[in-house]
Amino acid sequence: MRYCRFESEDGPQYGEVADRDGEPWIQRVLAPWPEDPWAKPAVGDFTPMPLNKARLLAPVVPGKIVCIGRNYREHAAELGNEVPKEPLLFLKAPSAVIAPGEAIRIPVLSQRVDFEGELAILVGKRATKIGAHEDVQPYIRGYTIVNDVTARDLQKSDGQWSRAKGFDTFCPMGPLVTDEIDPEAGLTLTTRLNGDVKQHGTTRDLIFSVAMLLRHISAAMTLLPGDVIPTGTPAGVGPMKAGDVVEVSVEGIGRLRNPVET
Ligand code: ZN
């Protein structure tokens, strides 16, 4: 199923997304996920609407965001880093999450703010120490897109990444969640800045697979429904400035578009 979270007259709601004449539409309202205390239940009749007419919200209110650094060979190389021997984890502040279309704000504290287009896993079931031979599929609710916005200068000067990755608005997410795709099969990921292609990769090149990531993370910390795991970015990261528009597309999910402002 594909679904989105959107602002209705009654408040945030979840909607099932299906194609009509090749365009995605919100077909019906779904019961809210238990981890989302703000969402309103489906009440009354719902008139289907095109997805691009809805006021989309980030598709999840994450408890935590566990990111993976350097999970594509060419991206590790472009920043002069070795390919890690095991997944490199860092946490991104949930307060940084913004909706599709919402503005990324360039902080006055940074001179270099980069986009990082990423496929993200959405956890759907509590996971602690997933076994080496255990099927990970039951723990995956679906996939979405994250732009792991990064203050590259502060990432270097701080020596660790909490501030550089955690500024308000540094985690655009959406436009929807789908369980109808398979990253192992190779999904094309493209990031455009003002229409120009900057990143063009495939999830087939992930160094650590979705299953390896879930095992590795859950060996250390319990994953809960609503947690989000951006899986790393391919080569081609670069800076954004006020006035730019950044778009991250992943095959089978859609396009996450955000303006950049001061
Ligand atoms: Zn990243």
Q: How far is the CA of 20 from the centre of ligand 1 (A)?
A: 34
Q: Which of 119, 121, 107 is nearest to 199 (CA)?
A: 119
What pLDDT score does 178 carry?
98
Q: How far is the CA of 69 from the centre of ligand 1 (A)?
A: 6
Residues 125 and 38 both lie in one domain: no
Q: pLDDT of 38-56, one tens digit each? A: 999 887 789 999 999 999 9
Residues 129 and 11 both lie in one domain: no
Whole-number Å distance between alpha carbons of 104 and 117: 14
Q: How far is CA 15 from the centre of its chain?
A: 18
Residues 49 and 168 both lie in one domain: no
Q: How far is the CA of 232 from the centre of ligand 1 (A)?
A: 5
Q: How far is the CA of 172 from the centre of ligand 1 (A)?
A: 12
Residues 75 and 9 both lie in one domain: no
Q: How far is the CA of 233 from the centre of ligand 1 (A)?
A: 5
Q: How far is CA 90 from CA 5, 146, 183, 242, in A?
A: 26, 15, 21, 27
DSSP label at 112?
-
Residue for token pair 């002069």: 80
Residues 116 and 223 both lie in one domain: yes
Q: How far is the CA of 106 from the centre of ligand 1 (A)?
A: 17
What pLDDT score does 154 carry?
98
What pLDDT score does 83 carry?
86
Residue 75 structural domain: 65-261
Residues 49 and 73 both lie in one domain: no
Q: pLDDT of 62-76, one tens digit each? A: 999 999 999 998 888
N-term to C-term CA, the chain? 37
**Regions of the chain short of the pLDDT cut 50:** none
Angle 154-159-163 from CA coordinates, rounded to 5°: 45
Question: How many structural domains is the chain composed of?
Answer: 2
Whole-number Å distance between alpha carbons of 158 and 168: 17
Q: How far is the CA of 71 from the centre of ligand 1 (A)?
A: 9
Q: How far is the CA of 42 from the centre of ligand 1 (A)?
A: 35
CB 173 within 8 A of CB 256: yes
What pLDDT score does 30 carry?
95
Q: How far is CA 54 from CA 118, 173, 183, in A?
A: 23, 15, 27
Residues 22 and 88 both lie in one domain: no
User: Quick one: tokens of 53?
Assistant: 């007419």
Residues 21 and 109 both lie in one domain: no
Whole-number Å distance between alpha carbons of 1 and 31: 14
User: Quick one: tokens of 60?
Assistant: 């999840």
Q: How far is the CA of 149 from the centre of ligand 1 (A)?
A: 7
Residues 224 and 158 both lie in one domain: yes
Query: Do you find a cis peptide bond into 175, omega within 30 degrees of 0?
Result: yes
Whole-number Å distance between alpha carbons of 196 and 127: 39
Residues 71 and 9 both lie in one domain: no
Residue 232: CATH number of its domain: 3.90.850.10
Residues 157 and 50 both lie in one domain: no
Residues 149 and 69 both lie in one domain: yes
What pLDDT score does 79 carry?
85
Q: How far is the CA of 68 from the centre of ligand 1 (A)?
A: 6
Is 38 strand, coil or helix?
coil
